[in-house]
Structure 1
Amino acid sequence: MAQSSTLMGFVHRRRRGAELFLLILALAVGIGAYAAVGIGVQGEVPPDILAYGGWLAGLVIGAHIVIRLVAPYADPVLLPVVAALNGLGLAVIHRIDLAREAADKPHDFAQQQLIWMTLGVALFVVTLLAIRDHRVLQRFTYTSGLAAIVLLLLPLMPGLGRTINGAQIWIHLGPFSFQPGEVAKVLLVIAFAGYLVLHRDALALAGRRVLFVDLPRGRDLGPILAMWLVSLGILVFQHDLGSSLLFFGLFLIMLYVATERPGWLVVGGLMFIAGAALAYFLFGHVRIRFDIWQHPFDFYTDEQGGKSFQPVEAKFGMGWGGLIGRGFGNGDPYRVPYADSDFIVSSIGEELGLTAVMAVLMMYGLIVERALRTSLICRDAFGKLVATGLASVFALQVFVVVGGVTGLIPLTGLTTPFLSYGGSSLVANWVIIALLLRISDQARRPLPSISDDTAAMSTDDTQVVRLGVSS
């Protein structure tokens, strides 16, 4: 009985005070990094530090108040970790802006990123207010899947699609460019979760047994084969290796979690190897990235086009930064053309060192861990799969990006969540955090007390008896 009371006491704790304390630490990271950039580059604290700090604090404290009001039992760690990552990313982007300004190539990407962060927090709030129960999203399983396919096809439309850095994954609307694949990944998680909840019993049936592994039945290979073809289509027509890996890996992980059959991992792994070999031999852009990964210095000289300039310079910078970094203003991260987007991890490694990179990876690990914890305690199958899918999005994306920058795997071109410059990615990731908080609020919310239900039933029985006596 005492153990039951302790468990119920733990479940009932809201932990909003702990979240507020962690948010203060996160703001210290973001605002402190912004001040350190000004001191390191310009020799003084930025004159707009109060306005910048006030705006940043207003955004995250406003998000905290909304959580306190509409999702009081939500996970208390997710928002502070995200706020710290976003604040650090803004500071690093501002540092690159100052370097380009000194080179007579002025850009104000940090201010634009702050605007995108404002929009992301606004949609974060809207998501929490509009979706009071995540289970209603299961009604839109096939609608979400169809919307995701339409979004993935939009960049291929003439006059609307736009090719940047060889990848046709953008749409151009007036002065704005948008990457619809960032929204598609959220819709695909919802579609995959809803589909797997309905069909997991059939997909979990075992087929032929090979080397102690039960492979799935041949008749059940349709969904994974369709996702494999979609991923290849993204690679062929949009030249987007990163999204192709992300979507196929996401579906494979969710399929394994839903069915608990290792055979799906075997089949998915074999399909991935076959697709990678096919892409290498048939598509030149994939072969070039693979060759650059294996022999980066062979493509570094101007005579060979300098195709590996970015990854080689990034490795030089991280090596120069060492364990504790050169300090803001003492490195040259701007030598990498996309130091504020695809290669922002190398910028952090050069000026803040390996220690800061490991801290960033630990924060991403916390996001994934808290999302998986939410999945474990969630009471419905749909919520479990959505939380698992959203955790997989972060895990796969960070692995692919950091692995490409450090040379562990070939470069793929994805953005680093909350750190890299990019509006569509930042906004979509804030919506993902809102969904995770909504699911965690539902999962951590206490169940109705048995004693209260018993008392209510006793009261009703007494009323019935009194009515019977009076009659």
Structure 2
Amino acid sequence: MSTQSTARGHGDRFVYRRRRNVELFMDLFALALGLGGWLLVELNLFGKLPENLPMLAAGWFGLGLAAHAVVRWRLPYADPLILPCVLLLNGLGLAMIHRIDQVPLPEKEALHRADTQMLWTLLGVLLFALVIALLRDHRRLQRFPYLLFLLGLVMLLLPLVPGLGSSQGMGAQIWITIGPYSFQPAEIAKVVLAIAFAGYLTDRREVLALAGRRVLGIDFPRLRDLGPIIIMWLASLAILVFQNDLGSSMLFFGLFVVMLYVATEKPGWAVLGVGLIGVGGVLAYQFAGHVRVRFESWLRPFENYDQNTQVISAQFGLAWGGLTGRGWGMGRPALTTFSYSDMIATSLGEELGIVGLMGIILIYGIIVARGLRAALASHEAFGKLLACGLAFTFALQVFAIIGGATRLLPLTGLTTPFMSQGGSAMISNWVIVAILLVVSNQARRPSPTTMPSTDARFDNEDTLQIPVVRTDGSRRGEA
């Protein structure tokens, strides 16, 4: 990324290029890779291209280019790498779900999960565009941190309400069912709580950074400041014990601890958070049977084949795929339970190989890195914490789910962002990307030099146009 440092009165400024044409080229490349995966599935399974190829290509490229057009229109200085990475992950996920849909099921109707996932992608992109169009300044989200915090906790615990919550899949009670529709409120809660944490920590970071007792060279927080972390710890334990949801419990408490450490720069908070996670894990293992089952399946999966079929078949699939994979449509990923959702990472590893799976993980790493870059470039504390929290949401989620699928960690019920089948996760993740791009645009665009007016008829919006020197030597006036 080319920048130019110019000393102008108040210090050095870095002026970023817009790079929208670069983003357009990468968007087209990402869209082509996603469509290519879909077409390779058709060729390898049926030996011909699908009849609806023109309509399919037009719809997919049209959706991606529409997302790019909204960014170009509203966020000219936004990070140029995030959207292409998201489109690539979304496209590969759609191709893999389509591939799993082609597995013949005797005496059952053909599945259309990929069609449903495409509809959820369309809705996610629409909300993505709506957030970008309406959210001119992310600092508007800072106004009501306590209300958002309460709303997030209510949404997290809402599935515990009798008659409203329901369990699916692994038995985790994380769904809300209203008529024929169901969704996971935790997916929306992660966005709400990330905003609430950023707002709260921006207001209270100086108080929370005050040192209490010093132990082994580490300054721990004062007892009077432990209220928020204890509340989140108890909420995460409630999710773990009553909802059987190990993944969300780890995600939300880990997110709060990470943001707390970033806000205060005090390692005592991180040490305390890790200690609380350890205590919570021991208590859950002793008193929650489903947690013990998850740990036993992680440590000794082959001792109980009937109970651990999902974990074992996923490992066999990765082993059969090897380094380079069987090829699109040439593996047997459907032998693994929930191969299209919880275990889509192992499905991709089987057909694209360990090399392909590592490439996908690197794409997630780019999204996280660019989110953290936006946090570093942001000029105010709320933007820094918000971008940091949203980036770590992706990092923690990918680490937990892919770590569980590959037996690095106990298996959790989290989704693989933009790839796993599911509407709630798809929508919330597109909203997160929209907010990240808004923060990135605010951080990267040239800041006008504001001069106070002596005339009472004018307010502080009066600005002086100053020529900004770009890296190519051209000059531009920024109002």
What TM-score range do you get, normalising by the shorter chain? over 0.9
Residues 8 and 446 in structure 1, CA contact (< 8 A), matched pair in contact too: no
Q: Deviations over 1:345-396 (max 9, x none)?
A: 0001111101110110000000000000000000110111110100110000
Out of 30, 34, 41, the residue aligned to residue 37 of structure 1 is 41
TM-score (norm 2): 0.91
Out of 73, 76, 90, the residue aligned to residue 77 of structure 2 is 73
User: Closer, same or farther in 2 for the Cα pair 1:101/1:91, shift >3 Å?
Assistant: farther
**Structure 2 residue 193 is the aligned partner of structure 1 residue 188:** yes
- Gap regions ≥5 residues in structure 2: 454-461, 466-479
Output the CA distance in 1 between the equivalents of 2:463 and 2:337.
68
Superposed displacement of residue 153, structure 1? 2.6
Residues 100 and 107 in structure 1, CA contact (< 8 A), matched pair in contact too: no
Match of 1:4 in 2: 6
- Gap regions ≥5 residues in structure 1: 301-305, 459-471
SS in 1 for 2:416: coil
Output the CA distance in 2 between the equivalents of 1:223 and 1:323.
45
Superposed displacement of residue 105, structure 1? 5.2
Match of 2:313 in 1: 313
- How much identity, in percent, do the aligned residues show? 53
Residues 242 and 412 in structure 1, CA contact (< 8 A), matched pair in contact too: yes
Q: CA RMSD in A?
A: 2.1
Q: Deviations over 1:54-80 (max 9, x none)?
A: 111111101111111111111111110
Residues 100 and 334 in structure 1, CA contact (< 8 A), matched pair in contact too: no
Q: Deviations over 1:190-211 (max 9, x none)?
A: 1111111111111101112212
Output the CA distance in 1 between the equivalents of 2:100 and 2:340.
7
Match of 2:276 in 1: 271
**Structure 2 residue 216 is the aligned partner of structure 1 residue 211:** yes
Superposed displacement of residue 224, structure 1? 0.8
User: Closer, same or farther in 2 for the Cα pair 1:215/1:5, shift >3 Å?
Assistant: closer
Q: Deviations over 1:293-348 (max 9, x none)?
A: 11000011xxxxx1110111000000010011011222110001200000000001
Match of 2:144 in 1: 140
SS in 2 for 1:170: strand
Letter in 2 for 1:142: Y
Match of 2:436 in 1: 436
Superposed counterparts of 1:98-247, under 5 Å: 98-101=102-105, 104=108, 106-164=110-168, 165-247=170-252
User: Closer, same or farther in 2 for the Cα pair 1:100/1:180, shift >3 Å?
Assistant: farther
User: Closer, same or farther in 2 for the Cα pair 1:451/1:3, shift >3 Å?
Assistant: farther
Superposed displacement of residue 82, structure 1? 0.1
Larger strand share, 1 or 2: 2
Match of 2:289 in 1: 284
**Structure 2 residue 382 is the aligned partner of structure 1 residue 378:** no
Superposed displacement of residue 104, structure 1? 4.2
Match of 2:457 in 1: none
Superposed displacement of residue 223, structure 1? 1.1
Match of 1:19 in 2: 23
Q: Deviations over 1:178-201 (max 9, x none)?
A: 001000000000111111111111
Match of 2:472 in 1: none
Superposed counterparts of 1:387-402, under 5 Å: 387-402=387-402
User: Closer, same or farther in 2 for the Cα pair 1:101/1:65, shift >3 Å?
Assistant: farther
Output the CA distance in 2 between the equivalents of 1:450 and 1:172.
52
Output the CA distance in 2 between the equivalents of 1:450 and 1:247.
40
Output the CA distance in 1 between the equivalents of 2:409 and 2:399.
9
SS in 2 for 1:214: strand
Output the CA distance in 1 between the equivalents of 2:357 and 2:308.
22
Superposed displacement of residue 159, structure 1? 2.2
TM-score (norm 1): 0.92
Output the CA distance in 2 between the equivalents of 1:22 and 1:398.
23
SS in 2 for 1:4: strand
Out of 93, 101, 104, the residue aligned to residue 97 of structure 2 is 93
Superposed displacement of residue 444, structure 1? 0.6
Output the CA distance in 2 between the equivalents of 1:134 and 1:9.
22
Match of 2:339 in 1: 339
Larger helix share, 1 or 2: 1
Superposed displacement of residue 217, structure 1? 1.4
Residues 311 and 405 in structure 1, CA contact (< 8 A), matched pair in contact too: yes
For these two proteins, the number of residue pairs brought into alignment is 451
Superposed displacement of residue 150, structure 1? 2.2
Superposed displacement of residue 449, structure 1? 4.7
Superposed displacement of residue 254, structure 1? 0.2
SS in 2 for 1:11: strand
User: Closer, same or farther in 2 for the Cα pair 1:66/1:8, shift >3 Å?
Assistant: farther
SS in 1 for 2:428: helix
Output the CA distance in 1 between the equivalents of 2:283 and 2:200.
29
Output the CA distance in 2 between the equivalents of 1:446 and 1:255.
30
Output the CA distance in 1 between the equivalents of 2:15 and 2:54.
39
User: Closer, same or farther in 2 for the Cα pair 1:105/1:332, shift >3 Å?
Assistant: farther
Match of 1:297 in 2: 302
Superposed displacement of residue 139, structure 1? 0.7
User: Closer, same or farther in 2 for the Cα pair 1:293/1:457, shift >3 Å?
Assistant: closer
**Structure 2 residue 358 is the aligned partner of structure 1 residue 358:** yes
Letter in 1 for 2:21: G
Superposed displacement of residue 140, structure 1? 2.3
Output the CA distance in 2 between the equivalents of 1:102 and 1:376.
54
Match of 1:327 in 2: 327
